[in-house]
Amino acid sequence: MEAVLLYFDDCPNWQQTASHLDRLTSEFPDLKVTRQFVDTDEAAQRLGFLGSPTVRLDGVDLFAASDTPVGLSCRIYMTPNGPAGSPTLEQLRDALASASGRVEESSRMRCSCCGEQRDMGSLAALLCHDDIKICKTCVGWLMQQAGGVDVTPTLPVSDMDAAEEFYRRAGFEVRRYDDGFAFVTLDDQSVFDLGVDTRATPTHNAAGCYIISADTDAWHDRLVAAGLPATQVEAKPWGMREFSLADPSGNTIRIGKPLGPGADA
- Geometric angle at alpha carbon 238, from 237 and 244, rounded to 5°: 90
Q: Please answer whether residues 57 and 25 qualify as being in contact, where contact means their C-beta atoms are separated by less than 8 angstroms.
A: no
Scanning 20-28, 53-61, 70-78, 107-115 for contacts with Zn ion by CB under 5 A, the matching segment is: 107-115
Alpha helices in the chain (DSSP H): 14-24, 41-47, 89-105, 136-145, 160-169, 216-225
> Minimum Å distance from CB 117 to Zn ion?
10
- Which backbone phi and psi does 161 adopt, to 5 degrees? -60, -45
- Please give the Cα distance from 111 to 131 (Å, whole number): 10
Is residue 109 a contact point for Zn ion (CB under 5 A)?
A: no
Scanning 94-102, 110-118, 173-181, 192-200 for contacts with Zn ion by CB under 5 A, the matching segment is: 110-118
Residue of 84, 113, 174, 240 interacting with Zn ion (CB under 5 A): 113
For residues 113 and 196, which CB has a smaller minimum distance to Zn ion in the complex? Answer: 113
Is residue 114 a contact point for Zn ion (CB under 5 A)?
A: yes
For residues 27 and 116, which CB has a smaller minimum distance to Zn ion in the complex? Answer: 116
Here's the x/- map for Zn ion, 61-100, by CB under 5 A: it reads as: ----------------------------------------
Residue of 4, 44, 57, 111 interacting with Zn ion (CB under 5 A): 111
Q: Please answer whether residues 100 and 112 qualify as being in contact, where contact means their C-beta atoms are separated by less than 8 angstroms.
A: no
What is the enclosing helix (H) or strand (E) of 3?
strand 2-7
For residues 71 and 115, which CB has a smaller minimum distance to Zn ion in the complex? Answer: 115
> Minimum Å distance from CB 133 to Zn ion?
9
- Geometric angle at alpha carbon 20, from 7 and 39, rounded to 5°: 5
Count of residues interacting with Zn ion (CB under 5 A):
5
Here's the x/- map for Zn ion, 119-158, by CB under 5 A: it reads as: ----------------x--x--------------------
- Please give the Cα distance from 99 to 97 (Å, whole number): 6
- Please give the Cα distance from 167 to 155 (Å, whole number): 12
Q: Please answer whether residues 58 and 104 qualify as being in contact, where contact means their C-beta atoms are separated by less than 8 angstroms.
A: no
The alpha carbon of residue 125 and the mean position of all alpha carbons in its chain are separated, in whole angstroms, by 9
Scanning 23-31, 58-66, 108-116, 175-183 for contacts with Zn ion by CB under 5 A, the matching segment is: 108-116
> Minimum Å distance from CB 203 to Zn ion?
44
> Minimum Å distance from CB 61 to Zn ion?
24
- Please give the Cα distance from 97 to 95 (Å, whole number): 5
Scanning 82-90, 103-111, 155-163, 168-176 for contacts with Zn ion by CB under 5 A, the matching segment is: 103-111
For residues 113 and 240, which CB has a smaller minimum distance to Zn ion in the complex? Answer: 113
> Minimum Å distance from CB 255 to Zn ion?
25
Count of other CB atoms within 10 angstroms of residue 93:
16
- Geometric angle at alpha carbon 177, from 176 and 179, rounded to 5°: 75
Binding site for Zn ion (CB under 5 A): 111, 113-114, 135, 138
